[in-house]
Amino acid sequence: MPSETQVVTMSRFLVDQERHFPEATGAFTNILHDIALAAKVISREVRKAGLMGILGDAGLENVHGEEVQKLDVFANDVLYRALDHTGHIACLASEESEDIIPIPDKFPAGDYVVLYDPLDGSSNIDVNVSIGTIFSIHRKVSHGERGTLEDCLQPGSRQLAAGYVLYGSSTMLVYTTGAGVHGFTLDPSLGEFLLSHPGMTMPEPPTKTYSINEAYYHRWAPGQQRLVRWLKGEGGFGSRYIGSLVADVHRTLLQGGLFMYPRDRNKPEGKLRLLYEMAPLAMIVTQAGGRASDGRHDLLDIEPRSLHQRTPAYLGSREFVDLAERYLEEDSEI
Ligand code: AHG
Ligand code: MN
Ligand code: MN
């Protein structure tokens, strides 16, 4: 690994990493490179959103009936245009599109599918709180030339790579290809992501911080209520909740802790989406030595049924996720 004085760009790091995979064709490296380019473009717009008057609703709604902020639409377009023509992609899937996104016939198709949440935490755009992009990469498994829904409905354990971009006090890209977790910080003056966090691992002992929206306390199952009462009482935990998934998970990755978005009476499957939010983040945290669960099963083992399927989410330091599962054992299906 480079010493603290060496400057390593993400491009250089990807090439170095590729050497460990003799069978690597370079397609995979190119996809990560293309996502990094999209991240730079989105970061530039996020940084000037307040100035461009592009804040506020686009007057559109996405597939979940949520108001779509213009940056959501912009980020969605940027990712599509960064990936659609490269010849590496069989099809795409986005939080902002009801169905899978085919590669136009005029472009060659490839062997990989990318699923993404182009802009996570979009309700925070107008108040200048950190937002993010989340991505998940699978190998195509269907036999046709072009990708199908089957290629997208794969369990998180079969992801080839996963990552996120955090548009925070600085813009960071964090990814894993199954060989550890690596973080890069964007130097806007160079337009380069520079390796700033090689080999990220969750700290032991972990910081005792839990992260959950307690406004829903009265809708939770009894075991969930008991768990949070213990965490903030006898357990001696502190609390942090940004309400922007990528920011909450990034903090948990760096400091340890337990992020939760449980099911409740109004949201029997929880709020967060499996394929392009929780499965990629679960791969990242697991690769860093942590765990991710839906409260009963390892999130990476869930066989997806639909593209926008939601899941309860428990993610963070291994011992804290195990603890949460023990408290939830008492809860029947809501
Ligand atoms: P998105 O903006 O992509 O729809 O995701 C928003 C999510 C996630 O960022 C965050 O963890 C969660 O919404 C916060 O939900 P609550 O406001 O219900 O806490
Ligand atoms: Mn999201
Ligand atoms: Mn989103």
CA of 323 to the centre of ligand 1 (A): 24
What integer pLDDT is reported at residue 57 of this predicted model?
Answer: 53
CA of 117 to the centre of ligand 3 (A): 5
Listed residue (167, 162, 179, 196) closest to 276, CA to CA: 162
CA-nearest residue, atom 6 of ligand 1: 121
Distance of alpha carbon 101 from alpha carbon 94, whole angstroms: 8
- Tens of pLDDT along 109-144? 999 999 999 999 988 888 889 999 999 999 999 999
What integer pLDDT is reported at residue 26 of this predicted model?
Answer: 84
Handedness of CA 95, 285, 257, 36 (dihedral sign): negative
- Domains within the chain, CATH numbers bracketed: 10-197 (3.30.540.10), 209-328 (3.40.190.80)
Name which of 47-56, 189-198, 302-311 the model is least confident about: 47-56
Strands 258-261 and 209-211: parallel
Amino acid occupying residue 209: T
Q: Are 140 and 90 in contact (CB under 8 A)?
A: yes
Mean pLDDT of 278-287: 98
Distance of alpha carbon 85 from alpha carbon 208, whole angstroms: 46
CB atoms within 10 A of CB 209: 22
Q: Are 125 and 67 in contact (CB under 8 A)?
A: no
Question: Considering the entire predicted model, what is its pTM?
Answer: 0.94
Determine if residue 56 is left, alpha or beta; phi over 0 gives left, psi from -120 to 50 gives alpha, anything else beta. Answer: left
- The three-state secondary structure class of 238 is strand
Mean pLDDT of 146-151: 97
Q: Where are the beta strands (DSSP E) in the chain?
A: 57-61, 67-69, 89-94, 101-102, 112-120, 131-139, 161-167, 171-176, 181-187, 192-197, 209-211, 238-239, 258-261, 291-293, 313-316
CB atoms within 10 A of CB 326: 10
Tally the residues of the chain.
334
Mean pLDDT of 12-28: 81
Q: Is the CB of 231 under 6 A from ligand 1?
A: no
CA-nearest residue, atom 2 of ligand 1: 121
Top mutation candidate among 271, 308, 314, 315 for ligand 1, by most atoms within 8 Å of CB? 271
CA angle 239, 310, 138 (to 5 degrees): 105
* Res. 224 pLDDT band, cuts 50 70 90: very high
Residue linked to tokens 């108040």: 127
CA of 124 to the centre of ligand 3 (A): 11
Is pLDDT of 4 > 90? Answer: no
Q: 217 to each of 223, 224, 242, how far by Cα in Å?
A: 11, 8, 17
Is pLDDT of 334 > 60? Answer: no
Q: Is the CB of 64 under 6 A from ligand 1?
A: no
Cβ within 8 Å of residue 90, ≥6 positions away: 103, 109, 110, 111, 112, 113, 140, 142, 146, 147, 151
Top mutation candidate among 42, 97, 123, 248 for ligand 1, by most atoms within 8 Å of CB? 123
- Tens of pLDDT along 179-212? 999 999 999 999 999 999 999 999 999 999 999 9
Is pLDDT of 302 > 80? Answer: yes
> Which of the ligands is closest to the CA of residue 72?
3
> Which of the ligands is closest to the CA of residue 95?
3
CA of 119 to the centre of ligand 2 (A): 7
Cβ within 8 Å of residue 150, ≥6 positions away: 141, 142
CB atoms within 10 A of CB 74: 20
Name which of 55-64, 190-199, 221-230 the model is least confident about: 55-64
Tokens of 76: 């969605």
CA of 124 to the centre of ligand 1 (A): 9
Name which of 69-83, 210-224, 268-282 the model is least confident about: 69-83
CA-nearest residue, atom 3 of ligand 1: 120
Distance of alpha carbon 167 from alpha carbon 118, whole angstroms: 12
Handedness of CA 59, 64, 70, 76 (dihedral sign): negative
Listed residue (268, 23, 73, 44) closest to 171, CA to CA: 44
Q: Is the CB of 277 under 6 A from ligand 1?
A: no
CA of 327 to the centre of ligand 2 (A): 27
